Copies of this chain bind each other. A is one copy, B any other.
């Protein structure tokens, strides 16, 4: 059975989260460089189809280490995203849950 527009919108939201995470995981990040990385992640992923808005919040206060930077992983960032496909709007997010970054659909609007 073919997907509905809502289902396609959810698939597209998932693609963006998987892309965001695995494109940028491992990038060296410090308190000083976090802001430019946030902006680049947002604008980079917003290039993808149906991706209307991405907001990334890197936890700057958790990045300090003895070598001055750490490697970006899901534990250091929250992400919210809005996907629009046909008449459907999907809000999705990534945040820590039980020690792991959990990506999920928060809300779907439209048919």
Chain A residues within CB distance 8 Å of chain B = 1-3, 6-8, 10-30, 32-33, 36-37, 39-49, 66-69, 71, 73, 92, 98-100, 103-105, 107-109
Number of copies: 4
Question: Are A47 and B22 touching (Cβ within 8 A)?
Answer: no
Question: Are B10 and A73 touching (Cβ within 8 A)?
Answer: no
Contacting residues, chain B, for A68 (C-beta < 8 A): 47
Question: Are A47 and B29 touching (Cβ within 8 A)?
Answer: yes
Contact residue among B23, B28, B45 (Cβ-Cβ distance under 8 Å from A48):
B28
Q: A16-B18, A36-B43 are in contact. List 5 more A-B contacts (CB 8 A).
A: A22-B22, A33-B47, A36-B39, A66-B98, A67-B100
